[in-house]
Structure 1
Amino acid sequence: MPARLRPADPAAVAAALDRVRSGDPDRADLRLLVKHFMAVLEDLAPGKSVEVRVPPYAAVQVIPGVRHTRGTPPAVVETDAATWIALATGELTWTEAERAGRLRASGERADLTPYLPLHDPGPTS
């Protein structure tokens, strides 16, 4: 698993969110927002028991518990960029995403509801 992601510049996040919400995002906006919100999740829920995947942009391991080191992790969440951004910002709930088939979650601790929507904890040292 690569090094931890870093939250993006707040102005860049705001601009990308504006373009996404206006219906005019590009791949760079999606990549920036996915990686930003994955970094925020890593800060809020440090751990290695759940792998969250948003292909092709990023994957992180989060949530305290049994550390995963090789092969398929015991808990996996996978979704697309638009769904991840909507979950992270509170524009979509976990339950709505599950019911609509917009995410796949399997294994113990794979429900990210306690962490969503994401609230940026601010800079870390």
Structure 2
Amino acid sequence: MSVIREQDVESGRLALEQWRAAALSNKKAGDPTAPVDLPRKDCGMAVRYSLYLLSMRAPGGAVEVRVAPWAAVKILDGPNSDPHNLTPPDTIELEPEVWLRVACGISSWDAEREAGRISAIGERDDLSSLLPLV
């Protein structure tokens, strides 16, 4: 199953552009971690679209990237899910604002991880080589 419906791809792209512009404004104002004030629907669409971009960049089923409550996507080649619990051996969880910051290059994977805002389990728990997406 796709993380975004085909008819929503353009809306997702626009939502991600809006989010990024607002986050860049926050960063220029000196607070890159300030929340971006977008409608909930647009934030969800930006997350779904960015995860779609990630899945296109790194297809596979060995690492699950979860951005609750909006979406999760499986990426990268390697051992797939255990057939009994369907969870890949490597799992990464992020809050939507954190995910969008690293996806858009507002902050780095390493900075967010060092700040304790990324939960990652497994051997392939570093997505820095795939980011930013835009």
TM-score (norm: length of structure 1): 0.83
Counterpart-to-counterpart distance in 1, 2:84 and 2:51: 21
**1:56 and 2:69 aligned:** yes
| 1:11 aligned partner | 14
Counterpart-to-counterpart distance in 2, 1:76 and 1:90: 21
Report the number of matched residues.
117
Counterpart-to-counterpart distance in 1, 2:79 and 2:47: 25
Give structure 2 stretches of 5+ with no counterpart: 26-35
Structure having the higher helix fraction is 2
| 1:25 aligned partner | 38
**Code of the aligned partner of 1:26:** P
Change (3 A) 1:17 1:93: closer
Q: Cα distance, 1:19 vs. partner?
A: 4.8
Counterpart-to-counterpart distance in 1, 2:126 and 2:67: 15
- Using the aligned pairs only, state the percent identity: 34
Q: Who wins on radius of gyration, i.e. which is larger?
A: 2
Q: Which runs of 4+ in 1 moved over 6 A?
A: none
What's the C-alpha RMSD, in Å, of the aligned pairs? 1.9
**Code of the aligned partner of 2:112:** A
Which of 107, 110, 116 is matched with 2:122 structurally?
107
Q: Cα distance, 1:17 vs. partner?
A: 3.5
Give structure 1 stretches of 5+ with no counterpart: 120-125
Counterpart-to-counterpart distance in 2, 1:32 and 1:52: 16
TM-score (norm: length of structure 2): 0.78
Counterpart-to-counterpart distance in 1, 2:19 and 2:104: 13
**Code of the aligned partner of 2:54:** L
| 2:31 aligned partner | none
Counterpart-to-counterpart distance in 2, 1:91 and 1:51: 22
Listed one character per residue, the Cα deviations across residues 9-64 of structure 1 (whole Å, up to 9, x for unaligned) are 13343234445556321211210111011000000000000000001100010011
Counterpart-to-counterpart distance in 2, 1:105 and 1:99: 12
Change (3 A) 1:28 1:19: farther
| 2:60 aligned partner | 47
Q: Is residue 17–residue 33 contact of structure 1 (8 Å, CA) maintained in 2? A: no
